[in-house]
Structure formats: C-alpha cells, structure tokens
Amino acid sequence: MHIFYNPDHAAHQGKLEMFRGRMVPCHEVPQRQDQVAAVLQARALGSLQTPSRFDDALLTRIHSPRYLQFLLTAWQQWIALDPANAALDAIPSVWPTRSFRTDIEPDNFAARMGLYSFDAGTPLTAGTWQAARSGADCALSAAAHLLQGGRAAFALSRPPGHHAGADFFGGYCFLNNAALAAQYLRDGGLERVAVLDVDYHHGNGTQAIFYERADVFFASIHGDPRTEYPFFLGHADERGQGAGLGFNLNLPLPCGSDYARWSEALELALTAIATYGAQALLVSLGVDTFAGDPISGFALQSDDYLRMGERIAQAGLPTALVFEGGYAVEAVGVNVANVLKAFA
C-alpha cells in the first residue's frame, strides 16, 4: 500500500474547542495521525512517503479563491488585531444565516471568520494552513498514484477534510482532501468517480461540492442528522440536484448501530457505486464509528474494520483512502490498520 504521510500535520494543534456548550481540549489532535503511522509501520503495511507538491491552482478546482486567500492569511490577520493573540487560537463566534448577505466580504476579522465557517469547534492556529495544504498534497498524490496505474493508496493526514465546503471550514476541516482527489481523477481523464464516506459524521462539504454534478457519485453512511453532527445535511431524501439528481446517496443510521446494521448500508452504497459504473473510488475513511469513540455513537468493534476493508476491496476499483475522523486515540491506529490490511 502506498501511504502518503503529511509531514506538517502537527503544525495544526488547536488548544480548545466549543463542545456541548463548554470549551474543552480539542478532540482532533496530532496523536491521531501519529498513532496510525506507528501501527502501520509496526505491521509493515507500507512505507510512509512524502507527498509530491502540487500547484496551488489545483485547489481552486474545488475551493473558491477568496476562501483560499482567507485561509492563507487568516493567522496574520488575527495577530494584526493584537500581538497577544499569538498565544490564542482564532475561533469563530458569529455567522451569517438565512436572509444575511454573503457576497460581500466584511472588513471585520471576526465577521470574516464567520463568513467562512459553520461552527465554533474548529480553531484556526498558526500552522493550520501549512498542515491543511500539505494534507491536500497527500490526497492529490494518492489520486496521482491511481492515474499512474496503482491499485490503492492511503492519504494519512490531518486535519481531516470532508466537512469543508467550497468556501467554508468546520468540523475540524479546512480543505476537502477527498473532493480534491476526486476532481484530480476527473481532470486526469476518468469520466465517473465515486466517493464513499464511512465517517460517523456526514460529509456535508463533499456532498455540497458535488451535489449538482453527475460525474462524481457521493455515498455516505453516517449518524442520523436529526440527532448527530453536522445536523443540517445528510438526510435520505437528499439525492442531488439538477444534473446531479440521483448521484447523491445518504444512508443515515440511528445511534447505537452495530456492524451488522452498518454493513447492510455498506452493501447498498457499494451496489449503487457499481451501478453508477465508477472507474475509481475515493474513501473518506473515518473510524469514529468505533464503539469507544468519545464524540460519536455507533458500536463497531476493531475486528469489524477488517470486514469493512475486505468488502470495499471487493468492489474491484482503483481506490484512494483518505484519513478523516476517529477520536479514540488509543484505538485509531489499530482500526485504520485493520481496514488497510484487509483491503490489501
């Protein structure tokens, strides 16, 4: 397995996030990637490779230029307000909602933070852009490997990406790695690409990016948005729009679902992907479906990830897996490694 490792991931290390009404230490921590890397190396599942550097212009295939410019300069803007801010994370606190204008970028920094975000749980730090930008290179390197004839690759990176939209961050995500990889495959000549999101939380950013497109099929298995984050997307009746109608499949499941129930949804998703005729598969690999995850609600066990990896491999598609969630830090490495081992 080709594993593209983000060497800059630890540059992004938030201090606190808003969680269930109070400020708590961040759940999305550098130890997540470190644990995965350690287990992959211990099991000899592949060597860690530095990703290639890709042109910044590729980011604009998915993200809006003004959003990218904000991310690039946000920390400097934050420090310019007050040098003491260097000791703090920047956290959004105000957002435009229905009937508010979003076409004009405000001069006020807090307002700009709100314009480009959707929650207060995603701190922006001095190294956020560096870490996210290198993460995009990991995903693009994985996609490039498939175009070169490779069977599989894994982008091991954080912060994750599937909650990030074309012009917003949230859910710990800043750049949508899976979407960037899918677009790279399309630009490389593939006519039909599928994204399978198995993270506990719905990939709202990925859905929004491809919702009106027929060339990228999106399927997601996740906690029911009536009770689970990100709440406002992920319902079963969201099937796509315009040219994209019929190319979006959401499979929400109730809190407490075990692998027996979860795997039924996986069968539906993979059947739909096969019917679509996908030529390559992107997997948003979140392992926060684990029973011990502190911010999720499914009941998968570590051995279940072996069965998950085996079944995804049976789709028979060139596959790039992209690391997303998984916050039970002591178990995250084993769970990811089990997926990759069984896939391989």
pLDDT of residue 51: 98
Cα distance between residue 151 and residue 320, in whole Å: 8
pLDDT of residue 46: 92
Q: How many CB atoms lie within 10 A of CB 25?
A: 10
CA distances from 30 to 8, 38, 160, 254 (A): 10, 13, 11, 30
pLDDT of residue 20: 83
Per-residue pLDDT reduced to its tens digit, 300-317: 999 999 999 999 999 999
Amino acid letter for position 115: L
pLDDT of residue 21: 85
The pLDDT-based confidence of 184 (bands split at 50, 70, 90) is very high
Bridge partners of residue 249, in order along the sequence: 219
List the catalytic residues.
163
CATH number of the domain enclosing 126: 3.40.800.20
Maximum Cα–Cα distance across the chain: 56
Residue with the two structure tokens 């789709």: 315
Cα distance between residue 21 and residue 336, in whole Å: 30
pLDDT of residue 278: 98
pLDDT of residue 323: 98
Per-residue pLDDT reduced to its tens digit, 58-88: 999 999 999 999 999 999 999 999 999 999 9
Please list, in sequence order, all residues whose beta carbon lies within 8 angstroms of the beta carbon of residue 174, skipping any fewer than 6 positions away. 71, 122, 124, 128, 129, 132, 159, 161, 164
Closest to 14 measured CA to CA, from 239, 172, 219, 142: 172
Per-residue pLDDT reduced to its tens digit, 102-129: 999 999 999 999 999 999 999 999 999 9
Please return the burial class of 56, using the count of CB atoms within 10 Å of its CB with bins 0-12, 13-18 and 19+.
Answer: exposed
* Structural domains in the chain (count): 1
Phi first, then psi: what are they for 163, rounded to 5°? -85, -15
Per-residue pLDDT reduced to its tens digit, 13-36: 999 999 888 999 999 999 999 999
CA distances from 286 to 117, 321, 333 (A): 21, 10, 12
Task: Give the rounded distance of the alpha carbon of 118 from its chain centre.
Answer: 15
0.75 surpassed by pTM? yes
Q: Do 126 and 167 form a contact (C-beta atoms < 8 A)?
A: no
Please list, in sequence order, all residues whose beta carbon lies within 8 angstroms of the beta carbon of residue 247, skipping any fewer than 6 positions away. 210, 213, 214, 216, 217, 218, 239, 240, 276
Cα distance between residue 216 and residue 198, in whole Å: 16
Closest to 110 measured CA to CA, from 86, 83, 74, 73: 74
Q: Do 172 and 178 form a contact (C-beta atoms < 8 A)?
A: no
Check whether 270 has a pLDDT greater than 90.
Answer: yes
The alpha helices in the chain, defined as continuous H runs, are 30-42, 65-81, 109-115, 128-147, 177-187, 204-210, 259-276, 304-313, 329-343
* Residue 46, domain extent: 2-343
Closest to 341 measured CA to CA, from 304, 308, 306: 306
